[in-house]
Amino acid sequence: MTLPRSVTAGSSFSIPTSGNGKAVLYIVGPGQALRRAVQLGGAASIAAGDLSSAGHYLAILTGESSSDTGEFDVTPVDSPESLGFLAKPSRLPVGLRNGISGTVYVFDAYHNLITKPLPASFELSVPSGTVQARTVTTRNGLAWTAMDSAPKEATAKFVARVGGASSARVIQEVPGDPCSISISAHPNGGRLAVETAPVRDCSGNAITDGTIVTFTENFNNTQSTVDVPLKKGIASVDMPANKGARISVASGVVAGNEIRWDGGR
């Protein structure tokens, strides 16, 4: 039999044979296994779509009195049909350099990895219109990039495109840690109302509601703490109005100011 050196996945081709009589042709590899009845002296036809898994194949022609073997390759179609796009993380703080990474694997219509170098474009955009774009040439079927999160909180769209295939992921860019926290206090009946100013990150984004702020009161060698979630960017709490008490505030690694309650004078 006369085998092609390589064929494109899914294409039709034929394998000419010589001799007389009937034979069976096997084409076997890890990716696929086929059998065709052959009239020796004619050609075995492999129809379009019959052999679609890229890889290396062993061909065996077994006749009544003889057999023949050979090898050939099936190569991916060069046209991208789908992408495997790994983007991470799905949520991250604003203003992080190279904080978002994307890796794209390029496949043809038969889910073969296309190893021929192709230009892959990555685009990270936010509703305000800011766009980061990169073009990377694929190597061994993949391309990757890293991008910065925006300075302002937003829902970003991360898109990878190779040829006519594209894939998108949504990335939540959320405020980072508080930049600073300041509190003020005023009497509220027999107690003390303590409240933060609006809590923001260092880019001026309001810190996400639900972030825990810890208030601590030190009085007469005793310490009491209250954890309060931010609500509309502010945390507030009523604490005992002990004259001479020192009240401080913190959230995560950021400590705020301390106030000393002197009884309202």
> Given the rule CB under 8 A, which residues bind another protein?
5-6, 26, 28-35, 53-56, 58, 60, 62, 67, 69, 71, 73-75, 86, 88-89, 101, 103, 105, 107, 111-113, 115, 139-142, 144, 146
For another protein, which is the closer residue by CB, 28 or 48?
28
Residue with smaller CB distance to another protein, 62 or 216: 62
The DSSP string of 205-257 is PBPPTT-EEEEEEEETTEEEEEEEE-BTTB-EEEEE--TT-EEEEEETTEEEE
Nearer to another protein, 84 or 233 (CB): 84
Go through 47-73 and write b for each residue having 16 or more CB atoms within 10 A of its CB, e for each that does not. Answer: eeeebbbbeebebbbebeeeebeeebe
DSSP string, 117-137: --EEEEEEE-TTS-EEEEEEE
166 burial level (CB within 10 Å; 0-12, 13-18, 19+) = middle
d(CA 52, CA 49): 6
DSSP string, 35-72: EEEEETTSEEEE-TTTS-S-EEEEEEEEESS-EEEEEE
Query: In angstroms, what is the minimal distance from the CB of 2 to another protein?
Result: 16
- Least distance between another protein and beta carbon 45 (Å): 18
In the bound state with another protein, the residue whose beta carbon lies nearer, of 2 and 184, is 2
CB of 265 to another protein, least distance (A): 57
Report, in Å, the least distance between residue 115 CB and another protein. Answer: 6
Comparison of 116 and 260: residue with beta carbon closer to another protein: 116
Closest approach, Cβ 71 to another protein, in A, equals: 7
Residue with Cβ nearer another protein (62 or 166) = 62
Q: Whole-number minimum distance, CB 182 to another protein, in Å?
A: 37
CB of 102 to another protein, least distance (A): 9
Other CB atoms closer than 10 Å to residue 243's CB: what's the count? 11
Burial class from Cβ neighbours inside 10 Å (0-12, 13-18, 19+) for residue 22 reads: exposed
Nearer to another protein, 67 or 155 (CB): 67
Paired tokens of 232: 């509309």
